[in-house]
Amino acid sequence: MLDFKMHKEEIVNRMKKLDERADLEFEGDGRFQIVIVGGGALVLRGYIARATDDIDTLETDSKLFGLMELYDINGRANAYINSFLWNYPDRIELFMTGKKIDYFTASLEDIVVSKLCADREQDLNDLAAVADVVNWELLDKLVNDKDELRLITMSDRGYMNFQAGYEIFERRYRPCKD
């Protein structure tokens, strides 16, 4: 991994280069799908202005891993899959279509859920930055619907900590209802 931070332009440049390389490496009409999550997704969507250290993806075809490493795109972020709701793919958003790869980002609300699960300082800073644009109604559904949230692997204690974190986030940042 390179030791510098990436802004949107650099991330998009790497995505384009990966797509061009994949087009050369893989013949035929088959396409790949990459879902970008975390800070990289927030940077790409313009939700946060900070740069990111990495570009994390979920459930990427393993055929792309070697190529992705050339561009410092992490295809092995599946360790974080348990921070995403089972049906997050229903809410992914197309960001860019390439010759061989369709790039998506997780929805803002799914990223918020994953950052609440992670509970790291940078994640909490990111949450503060997106509080004004998050769809609170959808986020409430994702967080409070037991069928949604409890299907991800989370201990009872982890679930209670998650709920407490969401309540703090909501108290601090949710706009008052009229």
Q: What pLDDT, on a 0 to 100 scale, did the predictor assign at position 76?
A: 73
On whether the CB atoms of residues 80 and 54 are closer than 8 A, the answer is no
- β-bridge partners, 97: 102
pTM for the full predicted model = 0.90
168-177: long-range contacts at Cβ-Cβ below 8 A with a sequence spacing of 24 or more?
169/112, 169/116, 169/127, 169/131, 170/136, 172/128, 172/131, 173/127, 173/128, 173/131, 173/132, 174/131, 174/136, 175/132, 175/136
Q: What pLDDT, on a 0 to 100 scale, did the predictor assign at position 79?
A: 61
> What are the tens digits of pLDDT across the range 121-133?
888 889 999 999 9
**Low-confidence spans in the chain with pLDDT less than 50:** 1-2
Q: What pLDDT, on a 0 to 100 scale, did the predictor assign at position 3?
A: 53
Q: What pLDDT, on a 0 to 100 scale, did the predictor assign at position 6?
A: 92
State how far the Cα of 48 lies from the Cα of 132, in Å rounded to an integer: 12
Q: What pLDDT, on a 0 to 100 scale, did the predictor assign at position 98?
A: 97
Q: What angle do CA 173, 117, 93 make, to 5 degrees?
A: 75
The structural domains of the chain, with segments of one domain joined by +, span 8-107, 111-173
